[in-house]
Structure 1
């Protein structure tokens, strides 16, 4: 393997998970099939020449590891073994290694040891494993996280690790102590009872490198076993929905999702070999999971001992079954590929990415393109990759990143990693670093980004326009119609005037979430360089507001879609996932298999790519929603509600509801209206009628509030605009539902507290014409505050359209704020509290009358009501008789004509209790 490829492979392998558990008994951690292959307790058998140094162990030497660091075997009665290896640091670094231990690629391996750190404040202590060939070439490395000093012995476990190459022959374990900015003069690190065990190996794979399918019938899961010493363990396959995970005992995460299908088989049906042989039994078996619809799934495979019933091994993989593309368009959705892709193909090589990216709804790909001058084949690979993506309508953006440490770049200090630092000097110093790249690629790639997504080092440059112009002139002298962009900070205002760059990649640390993103985009003008944004949902799994992993998962999906919606609403030009292969932070797992956000990303990209924001509708049940019109003139609505509900209204003739996983169905009908279930998980509605939607958004009352004066006609005007592309005629009628008697959304019961004249009438007008309908409204005991109005239309255009529009009219000028709550106290009395404030206007006096069913009216007065809250309290005995009943508070202005009606329910308890002490 070439040294450069080996280095990249080791960098990737070092990121493989290493499980380190402290304070866990080793006997409890070892399974039924674990076999000890190495153990060192530092007893006399390991020190046959009595020099207090363990035989065949090695210590690192050299300037970084001075010889004065004392290492020797010492007695310690605090541990069962009675002896340990002590390292007295004396302010320096140190490394000690086991002998090379023979291993076989068919097994998995676990390292266990005891570790004690004393007076360690500045040094970093880690344990690592190197898997090597017989010639000592390192092919695979695993390193623990740094250990925290406790002064006590703790048990450490790393693994299980299976060699990734058949060439692996041996493994060496290292204890590494790296000195910090200051040394630990009195620091002592002790290690004891070093144990390496092998385990039977179980691998679970599929017939797809990326585990992404468009046909659920094509999925084959393969379980491969090797090194099994027990002849007949049970192999259990389970298919689980989505990504539910609960915390089990000892903090170990156990999947508790809904089991969709399950099958168990005895391994004796598939194993061959001799259990007494050092390599044990081996074999493989295929399983076709019972997947019948699109979605995100997990497959869990367990190996369980038939002798003891204990779990010997477990593997979990993810699958995504994507529907055929609902719609396709060239949009603004893209991924930033990791730097490792053009070098070593990790986590997925170019050929695999060419299959994945079109399936994932990606229209743009950012690709780091720098390569050493001597590796000309990498330039060919990049060009071929970009050309094949272009054939699937995916545009490639070349990311010009920091060059590697080459002879040409030796003058670049390691501490400087920003792209601005590289271009800060005279072009004669940096042009040789990039000239070969640009000569090879600038004629093929039209889009270029200077630095990675979060590199905002150009911000604040004293002559940025001139600097970027100079860089363009030097680098892209061969390019045709080249577009160049750079990183920009959200907290930095855009530069006006003529710019020398074509887009700005906006980023923040920590990443902006949907509410912050909305606020920043609201304040940031769309003029100037096109804005590209990053989608980076942050949901803390430890947040106590999430009862379980399902709620955390739902919150993450919701935040992810919200960020996309916010970006689309403000018309950004690029929407990117900066680290798609980062597991929880991206849309794919680190091994290249699908993550829980892949399908939500794909659904949003397929439906919203290239779409423009239209606005939002007022829905009957109040669900939040956003409407977008696509280049093909199809309208998509995205909706969600904190509480599950049904939105019942006419949306169009060919409406399809699509969930974030891509599953779609035709909604049920209630007469001419669709029934759209909406809940905390965002939902997409495709096929919304554009003309009806625009008509709905145009409807308004000329006056949005009515005086709270009864028995008097109040004039108003209903406004609407003919959004159909031709003239229309039809009818309009107004309906005020009763808010307390019956379901206000049932469309069955009309309020007797309102009189509207005329209730219905004829409308007609040419396309684009604003229509006006004068109204007179008389109130009779109408409730104070915002009240819903349903406006029903029958419009004759190219055919007859029947649809409703929901609006609100506010009863009262909004200058008086009234709130009231009713709840039981400890003695069973119903306590009623009212709070009033005069928000605007002169002080006034009010008479307050409280009505409860089958109870005597209660009365009080409020004098000189001003801005300070006035709180009054009433009480009813036998309060449980009133729970669930509606109470009415009637507030009459003394020496005035205002009457305010406030209706509210009596509840068992209330989250709101007014502080009477402020009265």
Structure 2
């Protein structure tokens, strides 16, 4: 019998009910995110168990020997859940896999999977959630896998995505819950799954017109934003260009930016999109944006999709790009990358053709490449040879890495912590030679450098007859008499082997990696005999430190990275390598092959320091730390930094160029004949330092480094130097002692202090090339402050032209055997309390008369008897101490030795409070 048509009243009720359902669905959708559309949900309720067999309809469990049938899987009740039901898996010591029904998807959208997960008594098994995008024929073309989850015994919310299908052939997606058995099974293990939800989102992709996002010209950068699946809500699309500083910027609607904002542009999605006719609520389109990049450097492009209705962020994409300056110098020397095994094998993240474009731009001179391939894949050997030959055409040397084959010989697996490469080669050659013979026959005539195992593989260290073992391996692998260089991994805590070796280099590594200070210490104390040393650059900054902002973490990573390279160069290592260049945003490259924040610092260091040799350091006027390196082309590079930003003003050369770690170049400002070099915590490079002036500066010294603290007596000394110019010179030298703090005379009146008399204060110098020069002088002191005092030595040298430059040195007043300290503070009554601490470090017992002078106050006096190694504390008190505070007011201690000639002067400003107080015990 035909079903009766609904009445008008019934239709109204149906429409009202439908509207209520739509409103409820919209509310749920909004709770998960703006513009999300639910396309699948399974709560394991009665709708999913029509036949009441406690198994969710259309779900599938994996079966077979690895997935035994006795593993219990069924729908169970759980009062903690809002829906009240879940799918429960009782492992019984085994493993399991369960999959949802295939869900239809469209390539234009992005998809997010959400579910609830509870793990109980899981100790050894690995529980992961997997999304597989498939074609209509069931072929898997894209897989996304979560990290393993840990057991907590409580329900936890799991969310993976947003993922957009990478192929137009994608027709469906399947979600899997996988439980892999560990070394032991979990007998009582229980995995519970609930509220499985798949949502569809508008899709936004941000790309550039460069596969590697690395450019030479900032005008060539084009960013493309592609949108699809956007509903008619017409969101705002905001483009932002950010720099590398990791600064946090607060503004309305934006919590944090990943860098300092450089430029911004916003457009409506309706200006980009057009309906595609394939979906009632799907629109797609793309738009190009040329960011306003003015100079070279590392940048982030951030694109946000912001709801026009709620003003909330619907989606966000961040890409990185680098605009590299034209190389000042050709990259040569010892800088290299270790390419991951996935690069040459799978073409990910970059294929060989793209690497051939990137590596020369990145300042790479050496490439370590895993080269093993199955015997039946000879075409891979052809690709490796072609890749090595094309790199050689750009002066990049390839090092073949003999890694573990895909199929190891029959036999026991290596024990935990034992590397597989030694495990393979420890056996008889008849066992391992067939695994490598086809590789060596194909490649050994083209590749001259080889490494046994990966960078951190140190399993050969400690072998009973290592020299003989490596010699045997070498003879078996390279039996055609090729001129090869062979190396192996080595540990920092293992001393090198001396004598005749059968290998040509040692790749040093440590777990955890050595940081710059540790690396400096190890290289300074490590014996130099043995094979050439290669080191790994692996900066580690604790990203979990709560006391550091994102910008501070970024700056710390850059500083540590540069310092590791400089330390390695200082100690003359033969190879400097990045072991994992594609490690992520904090490294040299991102995992997708786009530039990381350390790419430009690496490139700048490699371009400037490649092949350079360490010269030494200069004493700069503002005290900045620095190291000098001379390149093979005889150009000198100085690397300088200072924890406190300052300007170093000195003559360095006629054609000086300052280059920051990002490769930005500037001509320093001039002050008279000197350059003004801004220096801060981030290392800076100075190219074009005069080699002859730098070596002259480093040769200057006083014959005696201290002047007795005896006033009114001439003390003999001499200024030593060396003519580092290639021809004879003539000129003048003069010495200057900067004015020190003002002291207080016995009457309480201020007077000039730090009086030095140097005879002669200036004079002529001359000498032939490469000859040491000595100029005698006498120094007389009068009220000179005790301790280290700076001396500036000015030179005017006539060589091929007139050179004017200064050298900074220091002379110590006194023998340094008496330690004097003084602190001051105001007490609660407003009195100035001064504490004096004296200690005799290594001299005989002595008595001293101590006089303290303050402006317009009567002097204070005390005595110290038989001063020895135990500290002596004396205290002085001034009423109305506030009057003695001020930056132009200073106190002076005059300490005279009783029955001796020494007079010790110590000047210091009065302080309102002090962080250091001396107690009666001398602390």
- TM-score normalized with structure 2 length: 0.92
Query: Which string of whole-angstrom CA distances, capped at 9 and with x for unpartnered residues, describes residues 361-381 of structure 1?
Result: 111111111111111111111
Q: Check whether the contact 1:402–1:417 (CA below 8 A) recurs between aligned residues.
A: no
Counterpart of 1:498 in structure 2 is 500
Counterpart of 2:560 in structure 1 is 559
CA distance in 2, matches of 1:850, 1:829: 16
Counterpart of 2:635 in structure 1 is 634
| Cα distance, 1:98 vs structure 2 | 1.2
1:461 to 460, 463, 470: 463
Counterpart of 2:584 in structure 1 is 583
RMSD, matched Cα = 2.3
Query: Which string of whole-angstrom CA distances, capped at 9 and with x for unpartnered residues, describes residues 73-115 of structure 1?
Result: 2222322212222223334333322111112222111111122
Query: 1:206 and 2:208 equivalent?
Result: yes
Q: Check whether the contact 1:504–1:530 (CA below 8 A) recurs between aligned residues.
A: yes
Q: Check whether the contact 1:446–1:479 (CA below 8 A) recurs between aligned residues.
A: no
1:900 to 904, 910, 914: 904
CA distance in 2, matches of 1:883, 1:783: 20
Alpha carbons of 1:501 and 1:256: their partners in 2 closer, same or farther (altered >3 Å)? closer
Alpha carbons of 1:80 and 1:672: their partners in 2 closer, same or farther (altered >3 Å)? same
Alpha carbons of 1:382 and 1:789: their partners in 2 closer, same or farther (altered >3 Å)? same
CA distance in 1, matches of 2:859, 2:683: 46
Counterpart of 2:330 in structure 1 is 328
Query: Which string of whole-angstrom CA distances, capped at 9 and with x for unpartnered residues, describes residues 221-256 of structure 1?
Result: 00001111135221110000114165999xx98325
Counterpart of 2:732 in structure 1 is 731
Per the alignment, in what secondary structure is the counterpart of residue 804 of structure 1?
strand
| Cα distance, 1:741 vs structure 2 | 5.5
Counterpart of 1:89 in structure 2 is 91
CA distance in 1, matches of 2:182, 2:390: 48
Query: Which string of whole-angstrom CA distances, capped at 9 and with x for unpartnered residues, describes residues 153-206 of structure 1?
Result: 222211111122222222221223334444444433322111110111100000
Alpha carbons of 1:402 and 1:71: their partners in 2 closer, same or farther (altered >3 Å)? same
1:867 to 853, 863, 869: 869
Counterpart of 2:891 in structure 1 is 887
Which consecutive residues of structure 2, in runs of 5 or more, have no partner in the other structure? Answer: 1-26, 744-750
1:41 to 40, 43, 66: 43
User: Superposition pairs for residues 119-134 of structure 1, below 5 Å?
Assistant: 119-134=121-136
Per the alignment, in what secondary structure is the counterpart of residue 491 of structure 1?
coil
CA distance in 2, matches of 1:750, 1:507: 58
Alpha carbons of 1:651 and 1:41: their partners in 2 closer, same or farther (altered >3 Å)? same
| Cα distance, 1:855 vs structure 2 | 3.3
Q: Check whether the contact 2:233–2:309 (CA below 8 A) recurs between aligned residues.
A: no
Counterpart of 1:531 in structure 2 is 533
CA distance in 1, matches of 2:544, 2:915: 25
2:198 to 196, 199, 206: 196
Query: 1:822 and 2:815 equivalent?
Result: no
Query: Which string of whole-angstrom CA distances, capped at 9 and with x for unpartnered residues, describes residues 711-754 of structure 1?
Result: 11111010000000000010000000023259xxxxxx996511
Q: Check whether the contact 1:442–1:479 (CA below 8 A) recurs between aligned residues.
A: no
CA distance in 2, matches of 1:145, 1:567: 36
Counterpart of 1:910 in structure 2 is 914
Q: Which moved more, 1:63-72 or 1:296-305?
A: 63-72
| Cα distance, 1:488 vs structure 2 | 0.8
Counterpart of 1:843 in structure 2 is 845
CA distance in 2, matches of 1:231, 1:752: 77
| Cα distance, 1:296 vs structure 2 | 0.5
CA distance in 2, matches of 1:581, 1:303: 28
User: Superposition pairs for residues 127-206 of structure 1, below 5 Å?
Assistant: 127-206=129-208
| Cα distance, 1:550 vs structure 2 | 1.2
User: Superposition pairs for residues 20-419 of structure 1, below 5 Å?
Assistant: 30-230=32-232, 232-244=234-246, 246=248, 254-273=256-275, 277=279, 280-405=282-407, 409-411=409-411, 413=413, 417-419=419-421
Counterpart of 2:10 in structure 1 is none
- Aligned residue pairs: how many? 884
Q: Check whether the contact 2:787–2:812 (CA below 8 A) recurs between aligned residues.
A: yes
Q: Check whether the contact 1:443–1:479 (CA below 8 A) recurs between aligned residues.
A: no
| Cα distance, 1:883 vs structure 2 | 4.2
Q: Check whether the contact 1:243–1:297 (CA below 8 A) recurs between aligned residues.
A: no
Alpha carbons of 1:768 and 1:103: their partners in 2 closer, same or farther (altered >3 Å)? same
Per the alignment, in what secondary structure is the counterpart of residue 765 of structure 2?
strand
Alpha carbons of 1:154 and 1:876: their partners in 2 closer, same or farther (altered >3 Å)? farther
CA distance in 2, matches of 1:274, 1:139: 24
Counterpart of 2:24 in structure 1 is none
Counterpart of 2:661 in structure 1 is 660
Q: Check whether the contact 1:488–1:507 (CA below 8 A) recurs between aligned residues.
A: yes
Counterpart of 1:692 in structure 2 is 693
Per the alignment, in what secondary structure is the counterpart of residue 350 of structure 2?
coil
CA distance in 2, matches of 1:449, 1:253: 48
Counterpart of 1:789 in structure 2 is 791
Counterpart of 1:22 in structure 2 is none
Q: Check whether the contact 2:892–2:906 (CA below 8 A) recurs between aligned residues.
A: yes
Alpha carbons of 1:379 and 1:762: their partners in 2 closer, same or farther (altered >3 Å)? same
Counterpart of 2:3 in structure 1 is none
CA distance in 1, matches of 2:449, 2:481: 10
CA distance in 1, matches of 2:63, 2:857: 92
Alpha carbons of 1:907 and 1:139: their partners in 2 closer, same or farther (altered >3 Å)? farther
Alpha carbons of 1:245 and 1:702: their partners in 2 closer, same or farther (altered >3 Å)? same
| Cα distance, 1:527 vs structure 2 | 3.1
Q: Check whether the contact 2:419–2:457 (CA below 8 A) recurs between aligned residues.
A: no
- TM-score normalized with structure 1 length: 0.93
CA distance in 1, matches of 2:365, 2:895: 60
Q: Which moved more, 1:610-619 or 1:840-849?
A: 840-849
Per the alignment, in what secondary structure is the counterpart of residue 254 of structure 1?
coil
1:451 to 434, 450, 453: 453
Counterpart of 2:19 in structure 1 is none
Q: Check whether the contact 1:216–1:321 (CA below 8 A) recurs between aligned residues.
A: yes
Q: Check whether the contact 2:837–2:922 (CA below 8 A) recurs between aligned residues.
A: no
Per the alignment, in what secondary structure is the counterpart of residue 560 of structure 2?
helix
Alpha carbons of 1:283 and 1:879: their partners in 2 closer, same or farther (altered >3 Å)? farther
Query: Which string of whole-angstrom CA distances, capped at 9 and with x for unpartnered residues, describes residues 665-721 of structure 1?
Result: 110111001110000010000010110000000000000011111111111010000
Counterpart of 1:672 in structure 2 is 673
CA distance in 2, matches of 1:831, 1:27: 70
Query: Which string of whole-angstrom CA distances, capped at 9 and with x for unpartnered residues, describes residues 393-414 of structure 1?
Result: 11111111111127xx344737
| Cα distance, 1:843 vs structure 2 | 2.1
Query: Which string of whole-angstrom CA distances, capped at 9 and with x for unpartnered residues, describes residues 637-679 of structure 1?
Result: 0000000000010000000101000111110111001110000
Query: 1:776 and 2:778 equivalent?
Result: yes
Query: 1:705 and 2:718 equivalent?
Result: no
Counterpart of 1:14 in structure 2 is none
Per the alignment, in what secondary structure is the counterpart of residue 303 of structure 1?
strand
Alpha carbons of 1:900 and 1:483: their partners in 2 closer, same or farther (altered >3 Å)? same
CA distance in 2, matches of 1:193, 1:609: 58
Query: Which string of whole-angstrom CA distances, capped at 9 and with x for unpartnered residues, describes residues 463-494 of structure 1?
Result: 11111111111111235321111111111111
CA distance in 1, matches of 2:217, 2:300: 16
Counterpart of 1:485 in structure 2 is 487
| Cα distance, 1:27 vs structure 2 | 6.7
Alpha carbons of 1:69 and 1:364: their partners in 2 closer, same or farther (altered >3 Å)? same
Alpha carbons of 1:26 and 1:531: their partners in 2 closer, same or farther (altered >3 Å)? farther
Counterpart of 2:524 in structure 1 is 522
Which consecutive residues of structure 1, in runs of 5 or more, have no partner in the other structure? Answer: 1-24, 743-748
Q: Check whether the contact 1:229–1:276 (CA below 8 A) recurs between aligned residues.
A: no
CA distance in 2, matches of 1:869, 1:144: 63
Alpha carbons of 1:306 and 1:402: their partners in 2 closer, same or farther (altered >3 Å)? same
| Cα distance, 1:517 vs structure 2 | 0.8
| Cα distance, 1:784 vs structure 2 | 1.1
